């Protein structure tokens, strides 16, 4: 049977990063991807913060970058509008398929081997310091013995479960059409709020050109079909979107958006990372920044454990500690904010958007707004004298509900 140090399952941004960082540290790495090509099918709006690009080690001049974004138009359920203009580039629209391929190429250049059309179907017990991984490679069943297996197999991950780890706590649905669209400004995204169109979360348009946009929603829905229905409703009846969308739908993509990492992401000879581990920002549903950040730690810890000849759960525990130190606090604050936001009524959203239009609050948003660390801005907003009363009282009510003491 073939032997290796680290098997990584899934060549998305998390898998390619983990494979690359493990290979750079000297591990023999096999990266399995079930599709014939890396990067397909795309399940992404392709909106990346500067930090997300850095986490992926991608430069702003690379060919996967479409154009920069400097702000957002936010539309409340009752038709109020808020324009946030940072007056500088704060994010980028990317071609996700190209980005995934660039990242996989870099894993390859670092010494990892990529096996395409290889669907991992089994992960054996940890025995003698390794696990046997079963995979279907273009119709042929094969096995490889590996000291560490890294499950970077996305939202519908099975690798962690096969090795006895729990799934993330909740799953939202993301659905998106690429459509002909009268784009308001190529450097601004649009965000649409309200229970009618995106219950519990939000809808968006991300401009690709001045006449094409990715229009999508991420929401709590029982089925993907229900999420598609919500998106159609947005496109056909939303006062802003319906006026901008032209007839032609150029593409559709959809997927799960997992939130809330499980209590354990490490076991004997096993780690999970990225969407598979719920490394997704609860305030936006974006997963690439956190996935790549955590994957670097996973790759390095895996290689170091192999180097020391011990890949037990204890030897891999540095990964769990490392990623929780890096993003754990932001994830748990993000989840609290997500739940507060999710419980706002349409009326409260209208009031909050109106209040955030205040000039001094807007200055705070522009100065402290950070797509990857929203807790910094939220703290500033809550401390500010003009902060929306509705927002403050909701936070207090939520904290009381969770058993925290608050001042009156
Ligand atoms: C509609 C939508 C829009 C989104 N927009 C954004 C956005 O704008 N910005 C952002 O940051 N995030 C966005 N996200 C989230 C983002 O796409 C994910 O967080 C990100 O792709 C996670 O990366 P990953 O490497 O962990 O998993 P994935 O990118 O899902 O990669 C997993 C890989 O594993 C492979 N695989 C799965 N099972 C197996 C198996 N058994 N054997 C072999 N291979 C396997 C899959 O084929 C896939 O290539 C969006 C999600 C959705 C659904």
**Are residues 145 and 22 located together in one domain of the fold?**
yes
**Final residue of a structural domain among 308, 327, 346:** 327
Name 257's bridge partners: 172
φ/ψ of 67, rounded to 5, equals -170, 165
Q: pLDDT, tens digit, for every residue of 63-96?
A: 999 999 999 999 999 999 999 898 999 999 999 9
pLDDT of residue 349: 87
**Are residues 111 and 250 located together in one domain of the fold?**
no
**Final residue of a structural domain among 327, 351, 367:** 327
**Are residues 178 and 133 located together in one domain of the fold?**
no
Distance CA 232, CA 177 (A): 9
**Domains in the chain, number:** 3
**Are residues 179 and 243 located together in one domain of the fold?**
yes
**Are residues 37 and 24 located together in one domain of the fold?**
yes
Ligand 1 mean position, distance from CA 96 (Å): 10
Residue 48 belongs to some domain of the structure: no
**Are residues 295 and 229 located together in one domain of the fold?**
no
Is the distance from CB of 82 to CB of 74 less than 8 angstroms?
yes
Q: What is the pLDDT along the chain (408 residues), one digit of tens a residue?
A: 899 999 999 999 999 999 999 999 999 999 999 999 999 999 899 999 999 999 999 998 899 999 999 999 999 999 999 998 989 999 999 999 999 999 999 999 999 999 999 999 999 999 999 999 999 998 999 999 999 999 999 999 999 999 999 999 999 999 999 999 999 999 999 999 999 888 889 999 999 999 999 999 999 877 888 889 999 999 999 999 999 998 777 788 899 999 999 999 999 999 999 999 999 999 899 999 999 999 999 999 999 999 999 999 999 999 999 999 999 998 998 898 888 888 888 988 888 888 777 777 777 676 767 777 767 777 776 776 666 665 666 666 666 666 555 554
Q: For ligand 1, atom 1, name the residue with the nearest CA.
A: 174
Is the distance from CB of 235 to CB of 215 less than 8 angstroms?
yes
Residue 53 belongs to some domain of the structure: no
Q: Which is the closest atom of ligand 1 to the Cα of 118?
A: 43
Residues lining ligand 1, judged by CB closer than 6 Å? 9-15, 32-35, 43-48, 52, 119-120, 152-154, 158, 174, 176, 216, 253-255, 257, 274-275, 280, 285-288, 291
With the most atoms of ligand 1 within 8 angstroms of its CB, the residue from 94, 230, 287, 296 to mutate is: 287
Distance CA 313, CA 319 (A): 10
For the entire predicted model, the pTM comes to: 0.93
Residue 71 belongs to some domain of the structure: no
Residue 379 belongs to some domain of the structure: yes
Q: Which residue has the tokens 């936001």?
A: 341
Q: For ligand 1, atom 13, name the residue with the nearest CA.
A: 286
How far the first Cα of the chain sits from its last, in Å, is 66
With the most atoms of ligand 1 within 8 angstroms of its CB, the residue from 36, 40, 64, 153 to mutate is: 153
Ligand 1 mean position, distance from CA 152 (Å): 9
**Are residues 368 and 236 located together in one domain of the fold?**
no
Q: For ligand 1, atom 3, name the residue with the nearest CA.
A: 44
Residue 408 belongs to some domain of the structure: no
**Are residues 127 and 30 located together in one domain of the fold?**
yes
Name 136's bridge partners: 119, 141
Residue 54 belongs to some domain of the structure: no
Question: CA 64, 65, 71 angle in degrees (round to 5)?
Answer: 150
Nearest by Cα to 235 from 196, 277, 265, 279: 196
**Are residues 287 and 390 located together in one domain of the fold?**
no
Q: Which residues contact 43 (CB under 8 A, 6 or more apart)?
A: 174, 253, 254, 255
CATH code, domain carrying 161: 3.50.50.60
Q: pLDDT, tens digit, for every residue of 120-156?
A: 999 999 999 999 999 999 899 999 999 999 999 999 9
**Are residues 274 and 386 located together in one domain of the fold?**
no
Q: pLDDT, tens digit, for every residue of 152-192?
A: 999 999 999 999 999 999 999 999 999 999 999 999 999 99
Distance CA 40, CA 60 (A): 22
Residue 63 belongs to some domain of the structure: no
CATH code, domain carrying 232: 3.30.9.10
Q: Which residue has the tokens 């932001």?
A: 330
**Are residues 253 and 265 located together in one domain of the fold?**
no
Q: Which is the closest atom of ligand 1 to the Cα of 135?
A: 42
Q: Are strands 29-32 and 131-137 parallel, antiparallel or unpaired?
A: unpaired
Ligand 1 mean position, distance from CA 380 (Å): 32
| Domain boundaries, position 187 | 170-258
Q: Which is the closest atom of ligand 1 to the Cα of 35?
A: 47
Q: Which residue has the tokens 């079930």?
A: 34
Distance CA 133, CA 120 (A): 7
Is the distance from CB of 148 to CB of 311 less than 8 angstroms?
yes
With the most atoms of ligand 1 within 8 angstroms of its CB, the residue from 286, 298, 331 to mutate is: 286
- Strand stretches in 51-139, DSSP E: 65-69, 71-75, 81-85, 91-94, 113-115, 118-123, 131-137
**Are residues 105 and 214 located together in one domain of the fold?**
no
- Strand stretches in 260-314, DSSP E: 266-267, 270-272
Q: Which is the closest atom of ligand 1 to the Cα of 273?
A: 26
Residue 89 belongs to some domain of the structure: no
**Final residue of a structural domain among 282, 301, 327:** 327
Q: Which residues contact 158 (CB under 8 A, 6 or more apart)?
A: none
Tokens matching residue 37 = 């090509």
Ligand 1 mean position, distance from CA 153 (Å): 8
Distance CA 134, CA 122 (A): 5
């Amino acid at each position: 049977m073939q032997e290796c140090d680290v098997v990584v399952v899934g060549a998305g941004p998390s898998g390619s990063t983990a494979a690359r960082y493990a290979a750079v540290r000297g591990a023999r790495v096999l990266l399995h991807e079930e599709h014939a090509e890396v990067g397909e099918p795309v399940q992404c709006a392709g909106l990346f913060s500067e930090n997300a690009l850095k986490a992926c080690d991608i430069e702003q001049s690379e060919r996967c970058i479409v154009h920069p974004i400097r702000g957002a138009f936010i539309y409340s359920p009752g038709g109020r509008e808020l324009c946030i203009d940072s007056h500088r580039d704060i994010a980028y629209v990317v071609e996700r398929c190209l980005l995934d391929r660039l990242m996989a190429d870099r894993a390859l250049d670092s010494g990892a081997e990529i096996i395409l059309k290889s669907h991992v179907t089994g992960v054996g017990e940890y025995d003698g310091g390794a696990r046997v991984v079963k995979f279907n490679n273009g119709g042929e069943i094969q096995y490889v013995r590996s000291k560490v297996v890294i499950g970077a197999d996305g939202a519908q991950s099975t690798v962690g479960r096969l090795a006895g780890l729990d799934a993330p706590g909740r799953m939202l649905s993301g659905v998106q059409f690429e459509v002909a669209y009268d784009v308001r400004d190529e450097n601004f995204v649009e965000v649409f709020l309200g229970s009618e169109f995106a219950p519990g979360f939000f809808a968006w348009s991300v401009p690709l050109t001045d006449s094409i946009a990715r229009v999508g929603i991420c929401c709590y829905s029982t089925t993907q079909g229900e999420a598609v229905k919500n998106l159609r409703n947005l496109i056909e009846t939303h006062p802003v979107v319906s006026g901008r969308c032209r007839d032609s739908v150029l593409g559709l993509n959809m997927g799960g958006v997992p939130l809330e990492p499980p209590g354990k992401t490490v076991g004997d000879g096993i780690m999970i990372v990225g969407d598979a581990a719920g490394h997704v920002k609860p305030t936006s549903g974006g997963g690439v920044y956190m996935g790549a950040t955590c994957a670097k730690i996973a790759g390095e810890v895996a290689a170091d454990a192999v180097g020391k000849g011990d890949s037990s759960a204890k030897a891999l525990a540095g990964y769990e500690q490392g990623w929780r130190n890096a993003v754990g606090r932001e994830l748990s604050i993000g989840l609290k904010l997500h739940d507060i936001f999710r419980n706002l009524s349409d009326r409260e959203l209208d009031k909050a958007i109106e209040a955030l239009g205040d000039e001094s609050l807007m200055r705070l948003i522009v100065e402290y707004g950070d797509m990857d660390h929203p807790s910094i801005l939220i703290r500033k907003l809550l401390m500010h004298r003009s902060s929306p009363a509705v927002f403050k009282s909701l936070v207090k009510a939520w904290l009381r509900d969770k058993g925290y003491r608050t001042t009156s």
